[in-house]
Structure 1
Amino acid sequence: MDRAAVDRLPQIKNIVFMAAHKFGSSGNQGLTWAMNTYLPGLVAETFTKSRISAFSTGCVYPFVNLEDIGADEGVEPNPPGEYAQSCIGRERMFQHFSQVHGAPGRLIRLNYAIDMRYGVLCDIAQKVATSQPVNLSIGHVNVIWQGDANRFALRALAHATVPTSPLNVSGPETLSVRWLATELAKRMDREPVFTGDPGPSAWLNNSAEAFRLFGYPEVPLARLLDWVADWIARDMPTLGKPTKFEKRDGRY
């Protein structure tokens, strides 16, 4: 967030913007807003001739009913919690300066990226491995392999718009958290334990437009389950950053 340091960066054709603050945001709202709103404004004001693919989050949407198959890009953002509100601020900064300077871009509304060391599947697998209850308060999710999310974000640079516009990035399935835990438990030879009851709504992301542009993710869900179950069963390292996907109040 050092303006002079940002000014010294080279003016380049393409930028992927990933700077953000989520974990601990409920205890440090000032830093959360500075990182998620002020910094994007600084970058967008500085790189006025660059195409910018800016990572955002599907958490900017309100909860949607399960029969709606997820929020598409036409749904107005209206989320709970300051973290998601600050992410709307990020989007608004990029939209404003994109409009002012004619700079093309896309806003990558992502949920949820999967790495063996991090993500919703990692969170669930760790609970299963240690016989801790899996919380079903958020009963359904979307997931996508991190490599596929990266690929979509890079390819989005070739589909940038003025002003910048949102593009949902997620997997194609609406996934039951109970089913995911059961499938991971089978692979790990464990018995899942559950707590809470799924509501009729969840943070779900309809990525049909991204699939139209780029095709479907290359890594299928069953392979993700195999990878994560094997990783956690062997007690391999994790990033120690729970996604807190099960929270409904937007406080992280």
Structure 2
Amino acid sequence: MNYVESLKESMYIPSEELVDDMKEIDGDIMILGVSGKMGLNLAKLVKRASNKSESMKKIYGVARFSESDGIREELESEGIETIKCDFMSENQLEGLPKVKNVIYMVGYKFGTVGNEDYAWAINSYLPGRIASKYKDSNIVAFSTGCVYPLVKMSEGAPSEEFPPEAVGEYAQSCLGRERIFQYFSKQNKTPTTIFRLNYAIDLRYGIVSEIAQSVLNEWPIDLTMGHANVIWQKDACEMAIRSLRVASTPANIINVTGPETVSIRWMAERFAEKFNKTPKFIGSESDIALLSNASKAHAIFGYPKTTIREMIDITSEWLLNGGDTIDKPTHFQERQGKY
């Protein structure tokens, strides 16, 4: 195994805390929307934690699956049972097996502008179908910190006590997703966790990778959205899985991100040191940003294991050793909620 492969493999090694929690989670686990950016990472962690805990759970991965991306084959090689499903098909949705635990990762973000009706159907209508079908399950429903408004840096990031104020149709439809899961959690007594995530960082994708690539390639970096919260994707995936244990009715809402408010300028300067480059900046930092206070998640699960400086180190090594990237910008700079 070369260095790049070893970095990638590290994303799939479950922590002892996850293994211990897996022993306490009763029943099989189904991941809906497993072919998304985080799905493969999460699914492998679930399966390996299950194996290591000797709990012998059956793990399902459900998605539409492209014939060319190879994700389905990789999941099956791990021992995960895959099911191809168009979630908007009545017959296919009804054909899914019942399980005790559901991790719901289905969502639609990029391309919302001009396709708003589809975004609402996926983000707000479909959750009601899922919540009805799996009313006797424990559900972790992925959401986003985008349901919060931009806030003044001087006022600090919003915690779960802060009322949502979704800007733009993507964020509004995601708040719709939350409200639907909350409604059915109350109606059917379905234990549910609303998992408000921003922003998960992968070796190949995310804010940290974007800033690193910009510095390395001497591309200009817009500083208007001058601060952000980030969390290593493996840490976020582990918290999502472990959230099955804290699902409740009414639904338990948890902000999930790292503990720091990270300066984009500072991050770029650290990468500049790694790459022996001079970062190019345009604009200046606004006094408002999209931020989340994840102190509740840290109280439940502990602080994320991967620090921001470690993310910078790992991402630098990944790029310098020829690691690939996913050409899908995060658009974290967006201030009007248009994706």
Please, what TM-score do these two structures have when normalized by structure 2?
0.72
Structure 1 residues 125 and 27: CA distance shift in structure 2, 3 A: farther
Name the CA distance, whole Å, in 2 between partners of 1:226 and 1:25: 34
Paired position in structure 2 for 1:59: 146
Task: After superposition, give the CA deviation of every residue in 1:35-90 in whole Å (9 maximum; x if it has no partner).
Answer: 11111111111110011111100010011121333110011111221111110011
Name the CA distance, whole Å, in 2 between partners of 1:60 and 1:157: 22
- Counterpart of 1:145 (choices 209, 215, 232) is 232
Name the CA distance, whole Å, in 2 between partners of 1:165 and 1:91: 11
CA contact (8 A) 2:246 2:252 kept: no
CA contact (8 A) 2:142 2:197 kept: yes
Q: What runs of 5+ residues in structure 2 fail to find an aligned partner?
A: 1-87
- What are the equivalent positions in structure 2 for 1:234-245 lying under 5 Å apart? 234-245=321-332
Paired position in structure 2 for 1:35: 122
Paired position in structure 1 for 2:221: 134
Paired position in structure 1 for 2:61: none
Q: For this pair of structures, how many residues does the alignment match?
A: 252
- Counterpart of 1:13 (choices 100, 114, 117) is 100
Q: Which moved more, 1:59-68 or 1:199-208?
A: 59-68
* Code of the aligned partner of 2:159: D
CA contact (8 A) 1:98 1:105 kept: yes
Query: Sequence identity, in percent?
Result: 44
Name the CA distance, whole Å, in 1 between partners of 2:180 and 2:168: 19
CA contact (8 A) 2:166 2:175 kept: no
Name the CA distance, whole Å, in 2 between partners of 1:226 and 1:21: 31
Task: After superposition, give the CA deviation of every residue in 1:80-119 in whole Å (9 maximum; x if it has no partner).
Answer: 2111111001101101111110001111110100001110
Task: After superposition, give the CA deviation of every residue in 1:128-178 in whole Å (9 maximum; x if it has no partner).
Answer: 122111111111101000010011111111111102131000000011111
Please report how far the alpha carbon of residue 235 of structure 1 lies from its aligned counterpart in structure 2 after TM superposition: 4.3
Task: After superposition, give the CA deviation of every residue in 1:180-229 in whole Å (9 maximum; x if it has no partner).
Answer: 11111211211111112211111111000111111000111111001112
Q: What runs of 5+ residues in structure 1 fail to find an aligned partner?
A: none
Name the CA distance, whole Å, in 1 between partners of 2:322 and 2:225: 26
* Code of the aligned partner of 1:174: T
Task: Please tell me the root mean square deviation across aligned C-alpha atoms, in Å.
Answer: 1.1
Residue 40 of structure 1 aligns to a residue whose secondary structure is helix
Residue 26 of structure 1 aligns to a residue whose secondary structure is coil
Paired position in structure 2 for 1:79: 166
Aligned pair 1:191/2:269, yes or no? no
Name the CA distance, whole Å, in 2 between partners of 1:9 and 1:233: 43
Q: Which has the higher contact order (CA 8 A, sep 6+)?
A: 1
Paired position in structure 1 for 2:205: 118
Name the CA distance, whole Å, in 2 between partners of 1:21 and 1:125: 26
Aligned pair 1:175/2:262, yes or no? yes
Name the CA distance, whole Å, in 1 between partners of 2:160 and 2:327: 31
- What are the equivalent positions in structure 2 for 1:149-228 lying under 5 Å apart? 149-228=236-315
Name the CA distance, whole Å, in 2 between partners of 1:198 and 1:45: 45
Name the CA distance, whole Å, in 2 between partners of 1:208 and 1:47: 30
Name the CA distance, whole Å, in 2 between partners of 1:175 and 1:19: 28
Paired position in structure 2 for 1:22: 109
CA contact (8 A) 2:204 2:326 kept: yes
